[in-house]
Amino acid sequence: MKMTIGHLSERISVRYFDVEHDDCGNILRREERERCRLWANVYALTAKKNDAQPERANKITYRVTIRYREDILPDDEIDWRGRRLRLLSPPFHLNGQKVFTAMDCEEAVADGAQ
């Protein structure tokens, strides 16, 4: 599927944690902040049900595509429709061009949640 600006119809928020350390490396303060709010295309890639180990959560993998940006970091998280998505790998340029940035993300879903 060829991606166009018209496909970016979902509103997302990219979040990060601002962490302050002391001289020994201990965390003094950890505060969640919003990096940016932008339009995206979000669709599910895979869904896995974990029957073998019921204590582990089911997982849904998404591909999130936004207009080209360089400031999204691998440890950022995405808020989308009340869900928290964690990046699985560093963001990459879709089709190798600096037009769209894609991120593969994962959402852990508790058993019975929808």
Q: What is the structure's pLDDT at 90?
A: 93
Residue at 14 is within a domain? no
pLDDT at 102 over 80: yes
Residue 54: what pLDDT?
58
With respect to residue 113, please indicate whether it lies within any of the assigned structural domains.
Answer: yes
* Domain annotation covers residue 1: no
- Pairing assessment for the beta strands 83-87 and 100-109 based on DSSP bridges: antiparallel
- Tens digits of residue pLDDT in 48-86: 666 665 555 678 899 999 999 999 999 999 999 999 999
Query: How is residue 9 written in tokens?
Result: 């119809």
Q: Does some domain include residue 18? A: no
Strand residues in 3-112 grouped as ranges (E): 10-21, 27-48, 58-67, 77-80, 83-87, 92-93, 100-109
Tell me how many domains the chain contains. Answer: 1
Rounded CA-CA distance 82/80 in Å is 5
CA 59 to chain centre: 13
User: What's the domain range around 97?
Assistant: 39-114
**pLDDT, mean of residues 39-50:** 83
Assess if residue 67 is contained within a domain: yes
Phi, psi of 113 (to 5 degrees): -80, 155
Is residue 74 one of the residues assigned to a domain?
A: yes
Q: Is 71 domain-assigned?
A: yes
| pTM, full prediction | 0.79
The residues facing 79 across adjacent strands are 13, 84
Note whether 32 and 15 are within 8 A (CB). yes
Q: Does 46 reside within a domain?
A: yes
